[in-house]
Amino acid sequence: MANIPTPHINAKAGDIAETVLMPGDPLRAKFIAETYLENAVCFNQVRNMLGYTGFYKGKKVSVMGSGMGIPSIGIYSFELFNFYEVQNIIRIGSAGALADNVKVRDIVIAMGASTNSNYANQFRTPGTLAPVADFGLLRKAVEAAESKKLSVVVGNILSSDTFYDDNTQANDLWKRMGVLAIEMESAALYLNAARAGKKALGIFTISDHIYTHEALSAEERQTSFTDMMEVALECATR
């Protein structure tokens, strides 16, 4: 294929599975590959954005970091969807809770991804486009979580361009509209999937709560999100 390798992914045709799990942290991708995948092979080390392909329950699955923020996942998901024939990307990551009924370590599945980003403007829709997940993937993820007897919350999340927001009222305004939690990537992933005619989903472990101030450490974020990882892997292989 003429478009590969890309400036950001040094993989050959066939190196990447049709379904890719995408944590933000490349070290989390390494952890998943080493913990869950059989015969895992590293297909990318460009900019240390590690990517691996292996087998989970006999099915070929890839996992690759996306980096932080909409511009970063926008690049990687675009190349995976459009140049490497990836059909499904399941984002797995941490999120900060807004809703009162969402607790630290809960799993949140993003049915929709509101955003304060201008990423959607490039698609020139004559109105506000709502980035949404693929329902088939969402249903599989909910079924996988329920089969593990996990408490899971499904709804709208916010993909924010700002981690440190100068608008001190922003969180309250999103919360009152029913937004469950904040992360920084899913809206771009959902938009790229829609434009490419592919499928995407975001699954999150709540790492901190914006209002109660409870939080997990960086090490806990890297190694203790196993329920979320296993739900995503089951979703990828159902």
**Which residues lie closer than 8 Å to 101 by C-beta, 6 or more apart?**
153
Best CA proximity match to 33, nearest among 65, 69, 76: 65
Query: What is the per-residue pLDDT across 63-72, written as a single tens digit (0 to 9) for each?
Result: 999 999 999 9
Confidence check: pLDDT of 218 > 90:
no
Spatial CB neighbours of 134, under 8 Å, sequence gap ≥ 6: 88, 193, 199, 200, 201
Residue type, 228: M
Percent of the chain at pLDDT > 70 equals 98
CA distances from 207 to 98, 160, 210, 213 (A): 12, 16, 10, 10
Q: What is the mean pLDDT of residues 104-131?
A: 97
Q: Domain 19-237 classified CATH 3.90.1280.10?
A: no
- pLDDT by residue (tens digit) across 132-169? 999 999 999 999 999 999 989 999 999 999 999 999 99
* 208 given a catalytic annotation: yes
pLDDT for 2 equals 75
The Cα 56–Cα 105 span in angstroms is 24
Catalytic-labelled residue, pool 134, 166, 208, 227: 208
User: How much is the average pLDDT of 102-119?
Assistant: 96
Instruction: Quote the pLDDT of residue 55.
Output: 98
**What is the per-residue pLDDT across 40-86, written as a single tens digit (0 to 9) for each?**
999 999 999 999 999 999 999 999 999 999 999 999 999 999 999 99
Q: Tokens for 206, please give them.
A: 């709540």
Structure tokens at 161: 């361009």
Average confidence score pLDDT of the chain: 96
pTM score: 0.96
